[in-house]
Homo-oligomer: A and B are copies of this chain.
Amino acid sequence: MRILIVEDEPTLGKQLKSTLEQNGYAVDLSTDGEDGHFLGSTEEYDAVILDLGLPEIDGLTVLGMWRKEGRKFPVLVLTARDSWSDKVAGLDAGADDYLAKPFQTEELIARLRALIRRASGNTSSELTAGPVRLDTRSGRVTLDGEPVKLTAQEYKLLSYLMHHKGKVVSRTELIEHIYDQDFDRDSNTIEVFVTRIRKKLGADVITTIRGLGYSLDDPDEQPRAN
């Protein structure tokens, strides 16, 4: 899952970035509204953390522009404490959730998880597909109840697929959501990790759709094979 943080205060921004990265997200950080808006418009994010108190362009304006452009990613707005007007205006502008500064990083992470989960249409923090179960809260994966050890990248890849269960996900889409800005897009790393995951979870977990990408199906919901 890839996150954009738009936060003008460098210290807080960097701290957030590193915390989120430790939690398995790919994170881009922008420190002003204009740059932030550009990133949000051009790159693919699964969620955006947006500070309202930005220099130059206001956070609300940025949010409004995104929504007008049709960007649909969930936005978590950081507002100064007690500003009800901000809250209302933010809702109108299309924010999905709020957090008043100051806040606890754990809560931020929890809300972020919830946002991403909701955005992908899931209701529980546990995602399942056949014998595979992924708990987004504890960050663990089990196969038939047995815990499976995944590396960071393997987890990111599997997590994205499970959040989009049944959908065909192209390789570029995966790259855009698993890695942050600076990454060489011409490589076969995705294939490599797909192979790895198949080795650990079974070959039939991830289906290849030639020329299009990959898809993770739930055999319980789709009894017949292909």
Residues in chain A within 8 A of chain B (CB atoms): 18-19, 22-24, 38, 41-44, 69-71, 100, 102-107, 137-140, 146-149, 151-152, 155, 166-168, 170-173, 176, 207, 209-213, 215, 217, 222-226
Contact A105 B176 (CB under 8 A): yes
CA distance A52 to B168 in the complex (A): 32
CA distance A207 to B148 in the complex (A): 12
Which of B106, B170, B176, B224 interacts with A44 by CB under 8 Å?
A: B106
Task: From known contacts A42-B103, A146-B223, A168-B138, infer whether A151 and B210 are also in contact, taking CB-CB under 8 Å.
Answer: yes
Chain B nearest CB from A87 CB (Å) reads 13
Task: From known contacts A44-B105, A71-B104, A173-B106, infer whether A22 and B212 are also in contact, taking CB-CB under 8 Å.
Answer: yes
CA distance A212 to B23 in the complex (A): 6
Contact A140 B166 (CB under 8 A): yes
CA distance A222 to B23 in the complex (A): 23
20 contacts between A and B (CB under 8 A): A18-B172, A22-B211, A22-B212, A38-B102, A41-B102, A41-B103, A42-B103, A43-B104, A44-B104, A44-B105, A71-B104, A71-B107, A138-B168, A139-B209, A140-B167, A147-B225, A151-B210, A152-B210, A152-B211, A155-B212
Chain B nearest CB from A211 CB (Å) reads 4
Chain B nearest CB from A129 CB (Å) reads 14
Contact B104 A172 (CB under 8 A): no
Which residue of chain B has the shortest Cβ distance to A185 in the bound complex? B15
Contact B152 A140 (CB under 8 A): no
Contact B104 A147 (CB under 8 A): no
List of B residues within 8 angstroms of A226 by Cβ: 148-149
CA distance A103 to B38 in the complex (A): 9
19 further A-B contacts with Cβ under 8 Å, apart from A19-B170, A140-B215, are A22-B171, A22-B211, A23-B212, A24-B211, A41-B103, A41-B104, A42-B102, A42-B103, A44-B104, A71-B104, A105-B176, A137-B167, A138-B167, A140-B167, A140-B168, A147-B217, A147-B222, A148-B225, A148-B226
Which residue of chain B has the shortest Cβ distance to A211 in the bound complex? B152
